[in-house]
Amino acid sequence: YKPTYKNLIQMIGDGNNIYDEEKNITICVYNSVNIIEEHIKNFDKIFVDEAHHVIAENIWGQLKIIFPNSRIIGLTATPGSTP
């Protein structure tokens, strides 16, 4: 953790419902994607934690539709899992 980066990062969800375009990094819980959806032009990379849970039927499975111009990177630490 670097305190100098604190002003560059925002958390969306869990009661934090205001998107700030001035922030460089946005951390968003999956059920709050609707809050950032209108700002899709601002996202060039999206990192998905627990990506082995991504399926087409859930919101994360629809990321390429919601964020068509973003590179999506899936992360998982579960052995033998592939998104």
Per-residue model confidence as pLDDT tens digits over 45-78: 888 888 877 777 776 667 778 788 888 888 888 7
- Helix, strand, coil percentages (3-state) for the chain, rounded to 5, are 35, 20, 40
> What is d(CA 16, CA 12) in angstroms, rounded to the nearest whole number?
5
Q: What are the Cα distances from residue 9, in Å, to 3, 6, 53?
A: 11, 6, 25
Q: Tell me the CB-side half-sphere exposure of residue 67, using CA atoms within 13 A.
A: 22
| pTM of the predicted model as reported, rounded to 2 decimal places | 0.70
Structure tokens at 29: 């819980």
* pLDDT at site 52: 79
Per-residue model confidence as pLDDT tens digits over 11-42: 998 888 999 999 999 988 777 878 888 888 88
